[in-house]
Structure 1
């Protein structure tokens, strides 16, 4: 079978691998589509994600859908939840399985041996990770379940957002989905900042009320130096800010624009090592800074939301055959031309 394998920084290959056989408690899934995530791009371009570094060849991919070919769901269209928490560590015992200290996550170099991913024609996964697609949900849209789950978890980490003003820094696929998640949770107003007009267009399609070029040369007041959000199209400071760009500059923007006593959620994975940020603002304004990592039960909520809202289709930019994986990765890395790029594993 064909699989998309990263062998090292810049060394992406479409390899012929032996098809797996399901073990006890596993289900075989014939993958139809896989979404290229920012982490997949980081493994390709930099040889790692954050502090997770490649040490051996690894099948990429954790956003996959297909058809179950074994088990009770055989023949059904399914999505695959990419995480297998250990179930016994203190985090799992206290209901925070998304930060399980011994989890297995498809296509992740967080542990060695690495957990092989889902960008393959067939994969064998624990039966508990397989979800039937809701009626009427096409596989192409269903691929968004994993990144939408990440967005839903980030919004929930912010607390109640109903009726509140939200800022999102970064309008990549995750940032755009944070917009949709915030709107679904009842946010009254969502502002998005990014450097690229095309990315801001996707954020607008996801439901953003205001989009702002973060480096707009026509706006000498951006980025702002005060605790007012007038520069991003609202007349009062935002209640919640979600940092989805994975940059120190994005985090600084969130800290400066959120109201006193507000909440900032760091969702984007920052570069390895230390990242500077204006920590005194946390103190003087009593801002709450919270991290958001992956997700847990939000996966089922994401599938239901995707089934109910065809507008998510606008975030899928292209579907590329797996044999052309390198060109698909190049397209996904070019945010001026794409939002979410999918690999196709069909004939």
Structure 2
């Protein structure tokens, strides 16, 4: 039996014991090391939905995690018990037109761990042990912490967003929203050669984190100084999932510039400034999840070319998930909160 955290509806989080799963030939059982609480996990917990994805059955959240191999299927022998792994939550089909084009993140048959995007839902990794396909695992031999490895998924999101920005060498980039993804985008944008990085948010703690991550300028979006952002950036990355932040991006983006939307905006829709996009010839680009960037993220973390440690606020045992969600929801105190399993406490 294994302990699993499940969300039944908004604010309704329960722990349940589940039977150990049988292994198919290419599957591997993982013991949880660390698992980060993402913005979508928070939305499921607080509102029962994340964007257009609504909970229709009890959902185990969690899609950014690391762990250690417990046992492997007969055809997955390369991953021996005790091997530390980063876990890619994407389960693309590999055969649809998008997968064949190398755009696995747009797979028409995608099964993404911890997501209510399909029904039955794809259960996630906020549990003591879980089973995944061997191709979702990246073995790590260096002495890197489980907590750092669990940043591979959000860093992959940030790297994919930066890929969608186009060439950044010498450019000014604005990032709206200075949560975990926003701060990782700041780090990735710096690695891509941006000359100046501006980060804005409505709270002081995220802005402090963005400054520590490498932003040259931080701005309170709700302060009068925000007016100075007008036509200030060549590229704007919206990572807040907020309509006001999107409006800031449109105003701040210079003529002929580019806006990349990473944040999930409200499901009921937004007022879209199409005329401003047209008259100023702005490129409006979406960035959804990631593809090959997951492998890059693991490499950057293991080599510490991108140091994620300053973004980790707290780690709580899996059994304290409710308290962890409450802390993660308080942006005045936290950037990234993780749940940890026995592997990380050993």
TM (normalized to structure 1)? 0.94
- The answer (yes or no) to whether the contact 2:114–2:124 under 8 Å persists in 1 is yes
> What residue in structure 1 maps to residue 193 of structure 2?
186
**Aligned partner of residue 15 in structure 1, secondary structure:** strand
Q: Which structure 2 residues correspond to residues 226-241 of structure 1 after superposition, within 5 A? A: 227-229=230-232, 238-241=233-236
CA distance in 2, matches of 1:273, 1:134: 46
Q: How does 1:205-284 map to 2 (within 5 A)?
A: 205-216=212-223, 219=224, 222-223=226-227, 227-229=230-232, 238-284=233-279
1:267-320: CA deviation from partner (whole Å, max 9, x where unpaired): 000010221132211111100000000001101111111122273201000000
SS at match of 1:160: coil
Question: Which secondary structure state, in structure 2, belongs to the residue aligned with residue 95 of structure 1?
Answer: coil
**Is the Cα contact below 8 Å between 2:84 and 2:141 reproduced in 1?**
no
Alpha-carbon separation, structure 1, partners of 2:230 and 2:10: 41
Deviation at 1:134, TM superposition (A): 5.3
Which residue matches 1:327?
323
Task: Report the equivalent of 2:37.
Answer: 36
**Distance (Å, rounded) in 2 between the aligned partners of 1:287 and 1:227:** 14
Q: Is the contact made by 1:14 and 1:322 (CA closer than 8 Å) also made in structure 2?
A: no
Q: Any runs of at least 4 consecutive aligned residues in structure 1 with deviations exceeding 2 A, and if so which?
A: 221-224, 226-229, 308-311
The whole-number CA distance in structure 2 between the counterparts of 1:334 and 1:59 is 21
Does 2:175 align with 1:175?
no
- Could you tell me how far apart the structure 2 residues matched to 1:125 and 1:223 are? 48
- Aligned: 1:339 with 2:335: yes
Task: Tell me the distance in 1 between the aligned counterparts of 2:135 and 2:307.
Answer: 29
Q: 1:72 and 2:78 equivalent? A: yes
**Secondary structure at 2:281 match in 1:** coil
Quote the residue 2:59 is aligned against.
Answer: 58
* 1:287 matched residue in structure 2: 282
User: Which residues of structure 1 form unaligned runs of 5+?
Assistant: 230-237
Question: Gaps spanning 5+ residues in structure 2: where?
Answer: none
Compute the RMSD of aligned alpha carbons: 1.4
Residue deviations 1:302-345 (CA, integer Å, cap 9, x gap):
11111222732010000001111000000001000000000011
Q: State the alpha-carbon separation in 2 of the partners of residues 314 and 14 from structure 1.
A: 30
Q: How far apart, CA to CA, are the structure 2 residues paired with 1:40 and 1:84? A: 18
| Aligned with residue 296 of structure 2, among 301, 304, 323 | 301
Q: 1:140, 1:316 → 2: CA distance? A: 8
1:151 paired to 2:151: no
Are 1:223 and 1:253, in contact at CA under 8 Å, matched by a contact in 2? no
Aligned residues: 335
- Indicate the SS of the match to 2:131: strand
1:21 Cα shift? 2.5
1:315 is the counterpart of 2:311: yes
How do 1:104-123 and structure 2 match up within 5 A? Answer: 104-123=111-130
Instruction: Quote how far apart the aligned CAs of 1:140 are.
Output: 1.1
The structural deviation recorded for 1:31 is 1.1
Tell me whether 126-135 or 284-293 shows the greater mean CA deviation: 126-135
Q: Deviations over 1:101-143 (max 9, x none)?
A: 1101000111011001011111111110010125232211111
Between 247-256 and 330-339, the greater mean CA deviation after superposition:
247-256
Q: Which residue of structure 2 aligns with residue 235 of structure 1?
A: none
Residue number in structure 2 paired with 1:2: 3
The 8 Å contact of residues 265 and 290 in structure 1, kept in 2 or not, is answered as yes
Q: CA deviation at 1:228?
A: 2.8
Provide the rounded CA distance (Å) in 2 between the counterparts of 1:134 and 1:99.
Answer: 31
Find out whether 1:103 has 2:110 as its counterpart. yes
Instruction: State whether residues 266 and 292 of structure 1, in contact with CA within 8 Å, keep that contact through their aligned partners in structure 2.
Output: yes
How far does residue 223 in structure 1 lie from its aligned partner after superposition?
3.5
CA contact (8 A) 2:90 2:113 kept: yes
